[in-house]
Structure 1
Amino acid sequence: MILRLLLAAALIFSPASGFASPAPPAPAPAQITREQAVAMLLGFNETGINLAARDLSVRPGNDFNLYANGAWMRFIRVSGGAQEFSYSIQAQLNEDVEAQVRAIVENPAGDPAAQQISELYRGFMDTATIERLGVTPLRPYFDRIARIRNRADLLKTFSENGYNMPFSIGVIPDPGNPTRHIVAIGQAGTLMPTRDYYLREGPEFDRYRAAYRSYVTQLLQLAGIDGAPAKAEAIFGLERRLAEAHWPPERSRDVSQSMNRMTVAELQRLAPEFDWPNTLRLLQMGDVDTLLVGETTAIQAAGRLLDEVPLDTWKAWLTFHFIDAFAPYMSSQFDRAAFTFHNQVLNGMNQPHERWRRGVQLADGALGEAVGRIYMARHFPNESKRVVEEMIGNLRGAFAERLRRIDWMDAPTRAEALAKLEAFGARVGGPERTIDYARLRLDRADMVGNIMRLGDFNFAREIARLREPVDRNLWDMTAQTVGASYNVLTNQITFPAGILQRPLFHPTYDAAVNYGRIGAAIGHELGHGFDDQGRRFDGVGRLRDWWTPAAAQRFHERAEQLGRQFATYEPVPGFRVNAEATMGENIGDLGGLEIAYEAYRRHVAQHGEPAVVGGLTGDQRFFLSYAQTWASYIGNTLMQSIVLTDEHAPPAYRVNGIVRNMDAWYRAFDVKPGDALYLPPEQRVRIW
């Protein structure tokens, strides 16, 4: 599982959690040139607003997202022609950051880890060696699987680096005592994104399932595995049975159900087939006495499948998942097959990124903190940090003021909420202390070995943390990440240098724009500490119910009201937004914009009402800048994937679904009854 996390980090540049949604893939140059996209997408004036992106034929109150971004969306769609693709302002920023990181990766001189960065990147770029080796690097691992003779052998193989497991396992801060770590276990074992891909009815899902069977067959055949079609059917059947037991996303994110403290003996009674005392010993976790268990019934069902499913099917399942994990680092046949299924079939991407971009993503994901040390020195001025930290102070003050005056929260709950807000920490730019990669050996002629050694390195770090107190100075993302996050177990927000640059932020931008864009992001992350799940944790990150029943009920009523709004949104016919699964992010978006607007008005009170610029008042620029943060054009295939897998709502609803609940937006754009987004005041959701 540690290796699988590493591979995911290497292949996905921006995090799936936090303020930024995963950036859709950029279109191919044949569809639209980068210069054209930049000219249109980044046509910002001196305040940070892109006036050319607007569609002035659209009334703001009818579709604020189209008003703010419609001309840009039309340009991207027409330029893309008939092929399906996706693009966004965050995809553009990712490209810019990748170009910055490429310069570091190709010339990392001056950093102690320069040799490792160079070896990993150049090894990935050495396609001649990769082609010559073919499937040979995987054969020793196939032989290891072939030697499995019984369930004990299977369990031992699960514990070895590189092999998949039907459960996830890792080390996190303990929600019962966030100063120490705990082993956390959850459901796993399927390759397609969610259980819906295996179980949901409809032609789209029939297509996904057929493509998956073909992909499994193709990889097994490329690897020279006998009986590939029959084994593919058996593998799919096993994963379908796992998916039947898996919890849906809305249940998994409910901490009242998914954080279950168990002793090893209790876990053994739940799923004895896994022989937990021995499995934990093999994973170097044998001295733990208490664990945090997630989807209990799914893990129990996976245990039963160890006995019910033939051993040969489990061996075929291990073989396929091993090939799939390493396919991007193998010869072109494996690489193309993996791209076709993962990127084209599941996400609608037309063609792979250039090899250098993928190599940069790999080096950045695997050795990100070494890259980040250089990135900070080259690309993050002190003035940016000063302005962002000042904004965080203003947002903290604005949130505290709102907490003091909201009428639905009673005094005991208010006191606890203010204490939690006071205790939260903010990290800006990059970590002060970074990972030491000196003991990591990489060889440009051995890509599979490199990935294995990276897995060993990260696993050793994971195990070491289990025996150490929680270090609040460790970051969960690198300095160059285009994203932001809130960690509920440490009560900290993180804003890396990567996201703190044009077009999302600049210290010289108009205050209205910075508060509407990065200010809303800061408010969003702050708000995660008080969303429907984050509110269950206290100021030190402990899972503790600090709400009175009356205050909790009033919060729940407001969250449900917001959920009812989002449950009506259907970006693709048959694919409606999952209001429960996206609840935390929707609350974060609404609360973040509310808090950011309050902070902006505090700024105005201190510095005076801003001038009208480009025909736009300060308040109009505030809301327009927020909407332009989510400028996106998304093809239907990726949109379906977002609806099914992303904890965020699609970008258009992060705009229209949020502003329609804010009184200040109505005033700024003269939104009236009869406008499509108009809500009567009593129907507008006001949480913070």
Structure 2
Amino acid sequence: MKKQYLLSALTLALVASVANAETTAAGASAKSAKAPVLSAGIATEFIEPSVRPQDDFFEYLNGKWLKNTEIPADKSSWGSFAKLRDDTLPQLRTIIERAAAEKSAAGTDTQKIGDFYASYMDEARLEQLGISPLNAELAKIAAVKDKSELPALLARYVKLGLDVPVVFYIHQDAKDSTKYVADLYQAGLGMPDRDYYLKTDDAKLADARAKYGQHIEKMLSLAGDKNAAANAKAILAFETEIARVQWTKVENRDPVKTYNKVELSKLAELAPGFDWKSWMDGAGISGKASYVIVSQPTYLKGFAQLAGKTPLDTWKAYLQMHLVDAYASYLSKAFVDQRFAFYGTTLSGAPQNEPRWKRGVGVVERGLGEAVGKQYVKEHFPAERKARMEKLVANLLAAYKDSIDTLDWMSPATKKEAQAKLAKFTPKIGYPNKWKDYSALSVKRDDLVGNVMRSREVEYNRELNKLGKPIDRDEWGMTPQTVNAYYNPELNEIVFPASILQPPFFDANADDAVNYGGIGAVIGHEISHGFDDQGAQYDGNGNLRDWWSPSDHKNFKAKAKMLVDQYSAYSPLPGYKVNGELTLGENIADNSGLAIAAKAYKISLKGKKAPVINGFTGEQRLYMGWAQVWRTKMREPAQIAQVKTDPHAPGQFRANGTLKNQPGFYEAFKVKQGDKMYLAPKDRVIIW
């Protein structure tokens, strides 16, 4: 398991440290500035008065927004996260376009940022080039005469970022967190999940499957394949067989089941029929490691058998298709439009592509993310904000510490282990202490595909070269401009990039209550991942180790089963239900994060009564702050993909489902038996 993303707890003096601290306006100081008049921080204009908060809190708080907001034509969904990301893009655009306009010295980050962007924005040149930037790689595929050549070529295409049947990533060894290891993982599908290939009783998935076949044929035709129709059928059949031997998303959530240590020399015994030595040599793993972790052993065996019986011509067509598909966004308009027609419209529902400048910003971020982030932080993330957030996180961790001691379902011995793990949590706020070095990357103003290939190869080598080296505990898995957060169990760290530390998650001009319900619960969410059904299997050093007593396991599993059942009953679309097992970890984190945030808010009041603002009590504003974070709308194809693949439940269920289990919510809004938001006390899941 690599990381868990998204959406945290406090103690004594957070009120003063959060909303009553100085504003970030230039020249303001805590000593000289007058105490600001704080707002409620709630978008009351979106409240739907015809809906009772006791019946549907999400609809009550966001009803007018849901009714009147159109999802932008270039988006598959729209809400708090997407809007904040969209608000950040013009800031990034200014940084990047400024770099493109400057005549910076060759080899500087500014030159690379500017030239990468310029190479993407030069549409006229890309039209002239057509497919030609891929000719050299297409020739390599065409030149393959024997299947014995495939393992080395497949390894090369891992390096270039193609989604081929076996990939790997470098991370800490889950049973020896002092070492890096390569983890072999199943891949190779052009659609989001095995269900898209194998579910024969779902008309919408069948339609997506048919359109995928058409997409393959069109891509191959654009690339000059005269046998595109026949090859498309063969590729779809081949990927269907790959899907058949893949593990499900739920199976892949088990960190014990997916930890299978295999010596390099024994891979051929585990999965005979494929030349693993050639693959390892081509991937660069040979000589750097003596063993790997195989996440899905039966898949690897099934793939090896499939590789042997698949005709060479099918393999070549498959690689040609995945090469063109992986780089279509960097070619001429015909390739760009075809790729978007399938992935953007068919699978996600967006009727039109993003403006080119937005896509260009994304391209540069993928290649030079921290170089852009370094400048973004300078211009848009004041040092004062980071200091305030560090104090907030410290207080949240302290509140968690208090909460562990009061648990009635955890044994004293396990509480001691939990406290030890909590004490070793590493918070990372805003941006890394050490920035990535991009000196190995060559960027040319007239070579977009080359820039993308070289940037992928640089990142590949950066990861590969970790093998045999000490663990880098300063590294970040997200850029500062990412609107998200994560917990990494192997480093036992919680990470909050700069961009998420803005309204509606954190509002410096709002009263504390909404910030506890927003960023406080987000922080609590990430801390909780260390104690969810996956994270709790790792100790404070990041090692996969069972530190729970049998009775703790029993009690925790009973609570988890209740959450699974609750969320499995939710349905965002007719015929599609939330997968309670797939979303369990995130649902535990939502449940726990909000509970801790509510406890911390009460602690922060120091016995005083919270102010009433806009007619709402402090406790009410806290829960409103939580629900407005999840304000979201999603197009049907994107909603189907989320239910099938995403470990997070849809936004309305993250809001309402979490609130139904919070005793404080019942008190704040006088929820009683007969109300639709009501769960009997025996049915409420209370973990922290």
Query: TM-score, normalised on structure 2?
Result: 0.92
User: Cα distance, 1:45 vs. partner?
Assistant: 8.5
Amino acid at match of 2:462: R
The answer (yes or no) to whether the contact 1:165–1:189 under 8 Å persists in 2 is yes
Q: Does 1:556 align with 2:557?
A: yes
The AA in structure 2 aligned to 1:95 is: D
Shift of 1:444: 2.0
Counterpart of 1:138 in structure 2 is: 134
Gapped regions of structure 1 (runs ≥ 5):
1-14, 21-43
Mapped pair 1:192 → 2:188 = no
Amino acid corresponding to residue 71 of structure 1 in structure 2: K
Please say which of residues 423-432 and 507-516 is displaced more in the overlay.
Answer: 507-516
Distance change (3 Å), C-alpha of 1:479 and 1:367 = same
1:99 is aligned, of 87, 90, 97, to 90
Mapped partners of 2:559, 2:398: distance in 1: 23
Q: How far apart are the structure 2 equivalents of 1:278 and 1:439?
A: 26
Correspondence list, 1:626-637, <5 A:
626-637=626-637
Per-residue CA deviations over 1:323-343 (Å, capped at 9, x if unaligned) read: 000000000000000001001
What's 2:598 paired with? 597
Give the aligned partner of residue 208 of structure 1.
208
Q: Within 2, Cα distance between the matches of 1:272 and 1:433?
A: 43
Cα separation, 1, equivalents of 2:372 and 2:609 = 42
- Contact 1:528–1:588 (8 Å) recurs in 2: yes
Provide the C-alpha distance between the structure 2 equivalents of 1:265 and 1:555, rounded to a whole number of angstroms. Answer: 40
User: What does residue range 589-628 of structure 1 map to in structure 2 within 5 Å?
Assistant: 589-605=590-606, 608-628=608-628
- Indicate the residue corresponding to 1:119 in structure 2: 115
CA contact (8 A) 1:158 1:164 kept: no
Give the aligned partner of residue 173 of structure 1: 172
Secondary structure of the residue aligned to 1:415 is: helix
User: How far apart in 1 are the matches of 2:75 and 2:418?
Assistant: 46
Partner SS, residue 585 of structure 2: helix
The reply on whether 1:577 has 2:578 as its aligned counterpart is: yes
- Decide whether the 8 Å contact of 2:180 with 2:466 is kept in 1: yes
TM superposition shift of 1:17: 4.9
For residues 515-566 of structure 1, what are the alpha-carbon distances to aligned partners after superposition, in whole Å with 9 as ceiling and x for unaligned? 1000110000000000001000000100000111111111011000111100
Partner-residue secondary structure (3-state), 1:178? strand
Identical aligned residues as a percent: 38
Q: Look up the SS of the partner of 2:168 in the other structure.
A: strand
Equivalent residues of 2:164, 2:322 under 8 A apart? no
Report if the CA contact (8 A) 1:278-1:286 is conserved. Answer: no
Q: Which letter maps to 1:546?
A: W
Match of 2:144 among 105, 128, 148: 148
1:640-668 deviation digits (Å, cap 9, x = unpaired): 11111111000000011100001100000
Match of 1:61 among 45, 54, 78: 54
Which runs of structure 2 are paired with 1:211-610 in the superposition (5 Å)? Answer: 211-287=211-287, 288-605=289-606, 608-610=608-610
1:158 aligns with one of 154, 157, 161: 154
Q: 2:3·2:486 contact (CA, 8 Å) conserved in 1? A: no
- 2:492–2:542 CA contact under 8 A, matched in 1: yes
Q: Which amino acid aligns with 1:195?
A: R
Q: CA deviation at 1:164?
A: 4.6
CA distance in 2, matches of 1:85, 1:329: 21
* Cα drift, residue 266 of structure 1: 3.0
Q: Structure 2 regions of 5+ residues with no counterpart? A: 8-36
Query: Is 1:646–2:646 an aligned residue pair?
Result: yes
AA of the residue aligned to 1:75: N
Conserved? CA contact 2:72–2:78, under 8 Å = no
Q: Which protein has greater RCO, CA pairs closer than 8 Å, 6+ apart?
A: 2
| CA contact 2:152–2:281 (8 Å) conserved in 1 | no
Q: Return the TM-score normalized by structure 1.
A: 0.92
The answer to whether 1:18 aligns with 2:5 is: yes
| Structure 1 SS opposite 2:541 | coil
Distance (whole Å) between structure 1 residues aligned to residue 390 and residue 69 of structure 2: 35
Residue 274 (structure 1) shift: 2.7
Amino acid at match of 1:602: I
1:146 Cα shift?
Answer: 1.1
Q: Which amino acid aligns with 2:512?
A: A
Describe the shift of the 1:635–1:375 C-alpha distance in structure 2 as closer, same or farther (beyond 3 A): same
Q: Which amino acid aligns with 2:195?
A: D
Report the number of matched residues. 648
- 1:73 aligns to 2:66 (yes or no): yes
Residue 4 of structure 1 is matched in structure 2 by none
Contact 1:264 1:291 in 2 (8 A): yes
CA distance in 2, matches of 1:448, 1:382: 37
CA distance in 1 between partners of 2:272 and 2:498 (Å): 46
Contact 1:101–1:364 (8 Å) recurs in 2:
no
Q: Secondary structure at the match of 1:597?
A: helix
AA aligned to 1:619 is E
Give the Cα–Cα distance (whole angstroms) in 2 for the partners of residues 189 and 371 of structure 1. 31
State the Cα distance separating 1:84 from its structure 2 match: 9.6
Question: Is the CA contact (8 Å cut-off) linking 2:38 and 2:510 kept in structure 1?
Answer: no
Q: CA RMSD in A?
A: 1.8
Whether the 8 Å contact between 1:483 and 1:495 is mirrored in structure 2 is yes
Distance 1:174 1:197, change over 3 A: same
Mapped to 1, the partners of 2:405 and 2:266 lie a distance apart of: 44
For 1:29, the equivalent position in structure 2 comes to: none
Of 312-321 and 457-466, more deviation after overlay is shown by: 457-466
Cα distance in 2, alignment partners of residues 432 and 417 from structure 1: 28
Bigger drift between 462-471 and 121-130 goes to 462-471
CA, structure 1 residues 375+169, in 2 after alignment: closer, same or farther (shift >3 Å)? Answer: same
CA distance in structure 2 between the aligned counterparts of 1:645 and 1:537, rounded to whole angstroms: 24
Q: CA deviation at 1:165?
A: 2.7
Matched-pair contact (CA < 8 Å) for 1:531–1:588: yes
